[in-house]
Amino acid sequence: MAGAVACLQLTPAPDPTRRPAIAPTILALPLEGGAEGAAVRLHPLVSGEMQIRPWLGELREGPAAALRELLTFLQPKTTWLPVPVYLVEHPVAGPILVETGLDPSAASDPAKTMGRLFGSVLFSYRLAKRTVREQLADRGIDPDAIRTVVMTHLHTDDHAGGVGQFPGGDFIVDRREWEVATARRSILKGYYRPVLARSGRWKLADYATAQPYGAFARTLDLFGDGSVRLLSTPGHSAGHQSVLLRLQSREALLYVDAAHYERQLREELTFPMAHSKRTHRETLAEIHRFVVEHPNALVIPGHDPRVWSQLEPVYE
Ligand SMILES: [Zn+2]
């Protein structure tokens, strides 16, 4: 319905086949503000919900799985999933975000952040009562003061849709993710380049210089103090990254779309339409090992309605 309305618009739509006119730079680490022994606070926020076709969440493996993945698109959309954003407060470096969540236009005009082709086909959206910017302000954070946004990956529009909401931010993304997301016809893989062009401040994380940390083979220490580590967790997408936080009392792992659901991690199930099922399995094995070695850690999947309904407003 929204797509049909969009087709009647007289203003020219952005051309998704054009590469964004952006010159990303290589991320230089550590960022300023690191402090030895620093612990961060985590606020899990929900920007809204996305409605999917149920087979997309069933996570089957085996010969019939590929056929079911295709047939998924014949099903009606019936299942609502949360679309999160994570506010992380560092005691010296200040607030950073992980993800941007839904753009406020997502429910009324999904073509704006997903393009006309997929804007009304793949998912439907409903927004939280308060936008992400309002939820930050509710917590005493000026959304325009957000200087760093870690993008786990660039799938639109539940992850990258809100890029334009944070004009003061540097957006950190794995270099491999950027290359796939800005390649020709990336829209067919779930990326929408006009959304990426809403920021000119892209910083590419190069995991060639990464260090192992615990269960994870490739990690980057964002502030050089161990409080926020980026983890290379590809598979769902080419350059998916997860985030490991040091809270005062324990560690918190945001594994986002490396596993949409808790069950997916427990049973090490890859997701339909994964960029690479083999790489995704390796990632799931790393996260699983972390969970076994850190039974008290807070571990949060990307879109699990049951887990998200039980999260507290803030973790320290
Ligand atoms: Zn994704």
Q: How far is the CA of 122 from the centre of ligand 1 (A)?
A: 13
Amino acid residing at 244: L
Q: What is the pLDDT of residues 100-138, one digit of tens each?
A: 999 999 988 888 888 877 776 777 899 999 999 999 999
pLDDT (tens digit per residue) in 220-233: 999 999 999 999 99
Centre of ligand 1 from the C-alpha of residue 302, in Å:
9
* 202-205 vs 25-26, strand pairing mode: parallel
- Answer yes or no: is pLDDT of 254 > 90: yes
How many H helices and E strands in the chain?
Answer: 9, 14
φ, ψ of residue 207 in degrees (nearest 5):
-80, 5
Domain boundaries in the chain? Answer: 37-310
Q: What is the pLDDT of residues 32-66, one digit of tens each?
A: 999 999 999 999 999 999 987 766 655 566 666 66
For ligand 1, the distance from its centroid to the CA atom of residue 92, given in whole angstroms, is 31
Cα radius of gyration rounded to whole Å, the chain? 18
Q: How far is the CA of 26 from the centre of ligand 1 (A)?
A: 23
* pLDDT of 240 higher than 90: yes
pLDDT at 12: 43
| Cα(117) to centroid(ligand 1), Å | 18
- Going from the Cα of 303 to the center of ligand 1, the distance in angstroms, rounded, reads 10
pLDDT of residue 61: 63
* pLDDT score of 300: 96
What is the 157 CA–ligand 1 centroid distance (Å)? 9
Taking every pair of Cα atoms in the chain, the longest distance, rounded to a whole number of angstroms, is 57
CA 240 to centroid of ligand 1, rounded, Å = 8
State in Å: Cα 100 to ligand 1 middle.
Answer: 13
Higher-confidence residue of 163 and 57: namely 163
The amino acid occupying position 23 is A
pLDDT at 65: 67
Q: Is the peptide bond before 295 cis (omega within 30 degrees of 0)?
A: no
* CA of residue 43 to ligand 1 center, whole Å: 21
> Measured in angstroms, how far is the CA atom of residue 257 from the centroid of ligand 1?
5
Quote the CA–CA distance of 163 and 155 in Å, as a whole number.
12
| Ligand 1 geometric centre to CA of 236 (Å) | 6
Q: What single-letter DSSP state applies at residue 315?
A: B
Q: How far is the CA of 162 from the centre of ligand 1 (A)?
A: 14
Q: Specify the pTM.
A: 0.88
Q: What is the pLDDT of residue 262?
A: 86
Residue 314 predicted with pLDDT over 50: yes
Distance 259 CA to ligand 1 centre (A): 10
- Tell how far the Cα of 237 is from the centroid of ligand 1, in angstroms: 7
Distance 218 CA to ligand 1 centre (A): 20
The pLDDT confidence band at residue 11, using thresholds 50, 70 and 90, is: very low
∠ CA 15-258-276 to the nearest 5 degrees?
A: 70
Q: Could you tell me the distance, in angstroms and rounded to a whole number, from the CA of residue 81 to the centre of ligand 1?
A: 13
**Complete DSSP assignment for 253-264:** EEEETT-SSHHH
Distance 232 CA to ligand 1 centre (A): 14
In the CATH scheme, what architecture does the domain 37-310 have?
4-Layer Sandwich (3.60)
Tell me the CA–centroid distance for residue 291 and ligand 1, in Å.
22
Q: 159 alpha carbon to ligand 1 midpoint, in Å?
A: 7
Q: Determine the distance separating the centroid of ligand 1 and the alpha carbon of 222, expressed in angstroms.
A: 22
